[in-house]
Amino acid sequence: MLVLGIETSCDETAAALVRDGREIVSSVIASQIETHKRFGGVVPELASREHLDKIVPIVEEAFSRANIPKEEIDGIAVTIGPGLVGSLLVGVSYAKAMAFALEKPLVGVNHIEGHIYSVAFENPPVEYPALALVVSGGHTNLFFVPEPGKYKVLARTRDDAAGEAFDKVAKMLGLGYPGGPIIERLAREGNPKAVKFSVPRMGDGSPDFSFSGLKTAVTKYVRESGVRPVENGDAPSQAIKDLAASFQSIVIRSLVGTTERVAAEYGPRTLIVAGGVACNGALREAASRAAAQLGIPAYFPSLHLSTDNAAMIAAAGTVKLRAGERAGFDLNADVTLRLQNLDNPDEALRKAKVRYRL
């Protein structure tokens, strides 16, 4: 089965052709980082305008690289949410028009589910049940996945997503945008124990994540310690590097520590770590160590598949198309789309444990 994936949920315009959900035939991504860098974050109006300019040439290039005519695809998968409404509508409108013109089946895909499927291309098949940690600029969620296409949210962020916290701290320190790669690079030269931050925990005992308080703690430290943000292109001071390392260390401890605690209850056979923040080498190392202690494999997407891309949307869409799912031409964007579809998650957990003799 050959599926065209289209992704326009935020600030990447992407199209990909994927065969059988595991082979990338072509993948094209147009980034908008340079457009939004001067604003320190994504400007929704500018993002949707760039998607309008790029969607046609990006899809055309995906077919050109694959050397495959449009008529040969078996279906189209498009991100319908969550994301920026203007951006999403560009991709959804284009996908519906193309499906109508080619008389091909269409499915809508949850962007977060797409990230979970980003590990499908360069890893062995996932063994279920699995835990999936999806960490990006807009999302920080931990899912129980008893079988393909079934999800229960075990933890979500109460405020800032992890990637958003990286961006905000980087902006506070004068480091630029996007903040995650910059902080990771500086953290390699810093002391992660130099600044004592507490791992954020919920007062109600929930495993949910929270990074807003940590961001406030960084602000307070900068003000009280006299750390000077980078200005005029100057080289970051050692104090900035130590602060970056300490901040990154706590974020990773929160993400991986929560995953370890939840794994003790749910007994997964695979750990999936995906999303833009999964590019972070320190997070990959910590998650790999945690998975090894649990006696299970940890699967990560390659770096270029960790950030937003259309191959992951096509992979998720392939599963839906094979299951007979079809979207009508009334398909619309849903910025609040949730990924939780287990009517009885406790029963699903019991069945999964019985099936795999956990």
Tell whether 60 and 144 lie within a shared domain. no
- Preceding peptide of 178 cis, ω within 30°: yes
Q: Which domain holds residue 46?
A: 2-118+304-338
For the chain, strand residue ranges (E) read 2-7, 12-19, 23-31, 75-81, 106-110, 130-135, 140-145, 152-156, 270-274, 298-299
Rounded distance between C-alpha atoms, residue 73 and residue 117, angstroms: 20
- The 10s digit of each residue's pLDDT in 292-334 is 999 999 999 999 999 999 999 999 999 999 999 999 999 999 9
Q: How many CA atoms lie within 13 A of 216 on its CB side?
A: 7
307 neighbors 12 (Cβ within 8 angstroms):
yes
Q: Model-level pTM?
A: 0.90
Question: What Rg value do the Cα atoms of the chain yield, rounded?
Answer: 21
Could you tell me the CATH number of the domain that includes residue 89? Answer: 3.30.420.40
Minimum mean pLDDT among 66-75, 164-173, 340-349: which range?
340-349
Residue 356 reports pLDDT greater than 60: no
Minimum mean pLDDT among 27-36, 185-194, 241-250: which range?
27-36
Tell whether 275 and 315 lie within a shared domain. no
Q: How confident is the model at residue 153 (pLDDT cuts 50, 70, 90)?
A: very high
Instruction: Tell me what the mean pLDDT of segment 4-33 comes to.
Output: 96
Tell whether 312 and 287 lie within a shared domain. no
How far does the chain reach from its first CA to its final CA, in angstroms? Answer: 34
- The 10s digit of each residue's pLDDT in 201-212 is 888 889 999 999
Tell whether 166 and 270 lie within a shared domain. yes
Q: How confident is the model at residue 344 (pLDDT cuts 50, 70, 90)?
A: low
Tell whether 80 and 100 lie within a shared domain. yes
pLDDT for 53: 96
Tell whether 80 and 203 lie within a shared domain. no
Determine, yes or no, domain membership for 242: yes
Q: How confident is the model at residue 351 (pLDDT cuts 50, 70, 90)?
A: low
Rounded distance between C-alpha atoms, residue 83 and residue 44, angstroms: 10
pLDDT for 152: 95
